[in-house]
Structure 1
Amino acid sequence: MYKPFDQMPANARIWTYTSNRRLDKSELEILSSRLSAFCELWNTHGALMPTSFEIRFDQVIILAVDESQLGASGCSIDSSVRVLRDIENELDIDLLNQGKVSFIKSEGDLEVNPILGIKSKVTEGILQAETIVLNPVVKNKADLENNWKIKAKESWLNKFFEN
C-alpha cells in the first residue's frame, strides 16, 4: 500500500536507483505512474507492505518499505527489480547498473558517470575532494537524510585525493 514518502518512518528500508540520464517531464510522469501502481500493490507473500517512492534530481529513484510491520522478502524485492527493468526498457534508460558515480555539480545539477574512468574526472578537476557525491550504500530513510550527500573525500573516492 502506497504512503507518501514524507510519511515513511526514519527506519524505512530504502533502495536507490540512478538513471544514466535526466528524465524529461513526460518520462517522469510515466515513471511516477508506474511506480505508484507498483507501490500500491507491492507485497510480500500476499500481504501488502507500506511502501513509497521519491524521484530526486529527475533521475534518482528512491524506493522505501516500512519493515516495522512486515519485512520485504526476496521475492518482493525481485518484483521491484522486474518493474524497474520494465521501466528501463520502456524509457531506454539504465537504472539497475550500480557501476555509476553520481555527484552534484556547482550549479546543483546531478552528473552521473561510469565508475570506469572516474579517475579522469578527478585528474581533470571536475570531481574534487569537496564535491558532493551520492552515497549509494544508504540503507534506510534516516541514512538518506543524513549520509546520502557526502563529500567525495569521505567516500570510497578518497583514494583519488592527496592527503
Structure 2
Amino acid sequence: MYISFDTLPEESKIWIYQSNRKFSDDEISEIETDLQQFIENWAAHGTSLTASYLLKYNRFIILAVNQENQVATGCSIDASVAFIQSLEQKYNVDLLDKMNVTFKVGEHVAHKTLIDFKKMAKDKAVTGDTIVFNNLVNNIAEFNESWETPAADSWHGRFF
C-alpha cells in the first residue's frame, strides 16, 4: 500500500539506490509511475507492505517500508531488488553498484568510482568537509540526520 513518504514513521526501513547518471525529467516521471505501481503490489507473505518512495536529485531512488505494520522479508526484498534491476535495464543505468561514491561539488551532484574518489581525496580535490551521500543509513531518522553529511563524518572519512 502506497502512502506519502513524509507520513512514514522515522523508524521505517529504507533502501537507497544511486544512479551512475542523472535521470531526465521524462525518465523521472516514468520511474514515479513504475514505483507507484510496484509499491501498490509490494507484499510480504501475502500482506501488503505500507511503503513509499522518494526521488532525490534526479539520481537517487529511496524505498521505505513501515515495518510496524508488516516487516519486509526475504522474498519482498528480493522483489524490490528485481524491480530495481528492471529499472537498470529499462534506463541503461547502474543502481546496485555499491563501489561508487556520490557527493556534492557546490550544488552539483557528482558520481565517481570508489577508486577515483580515493584518488581525489589523496589529491585534495575532495576533503573531509565535502558533502557525501551516505547510502548506508537504515531508516528515515538516519536518512534525515546523516544521509547528506561531511565525508569525515561517514564511512568515507577513512580516505582523509
Q: Which category describes the TM-score, using the shorter chain as reference length?
A: over 0.9
State the Cα distance separating 1:109 from its structure 2 match: 2.0
Which runs of structure 2 are paired with 1:1-163 in the superposition (5 Å)?
1-106=1-106, 108-161=107-160
Q: Which runs of 5+ in 2 are unaligned?
A: none
Q: Distance in 2 between matches of 1:156 and 1:54?
A: 23
Matched to 2:150, the amino acid is K
Matched to 2:58, the amino acid is D
Q: What TM-score, normalized by structure 1, do the two folds share?
A: 0.94
Structure 1, residues 105-143: CA drift from partner, whole Å, max 9, x if none? 11x121111112222212343311101111121000000
What root-mean-square deviation, in Å, do the aligned CA atoms of Structure 1 and Structure 2 show? 1.1
State the Cα distance separating 1:55 from its structure 2 match: 0.3
Matched to 1:52, the amino acid is S
State the Cα distance separating 1:76 from its structure 2 match: 0.1
Secondary structure at the counterpart of residue 85 of structure 1: helix
Q: Distance in 2 between matches of 1:131 and 1:40?
A: 37
Matched to 2:132, the amino acid is V
Q: What TM-score, normalized by structure 2, do the two folds share?
A: 0.96
Secondary structure at the counterpart of residue 3 of structure 2: coil
Count residues with an aligned counterpart.
Answer: 160
Secondary structure at the counterpart of residue 118 of structure 1: helix
Matched to 2:96, the amino acid is L
Q: Distance in 1 between matches of 2:92 and 2:32?
A: 16
State the Cα distance separating 1:159 from its structure 2 match: 2.7
Q: Distance in 1 between matches of 2:122 and 2:71?
A: 44
State the Cα distance separating 1:158 from its structure 2 match: 2.2
Matched to 1:121, the amino acid is M
**Runs of 4+, deviation exceeding 3 Å:** none
Q: Which runs of 5+ in 1 are unaligned?
A: none
Matched to 1:114, the amino acid is T
Secondary structure at the counterpart of residue 93 of structure 1: coil
Q: Distance in 2 between matches of 1:55 and 1:136?
A: 14
| More off after superposition, 120-129 vs 36-45 | 120-129
Structure 1, residues 81-128: CA drift from partner, whole Å, max 9, x if none? 11110110000000011111111111x121111112222212343311
Matched to 1:111, the amino acid is A
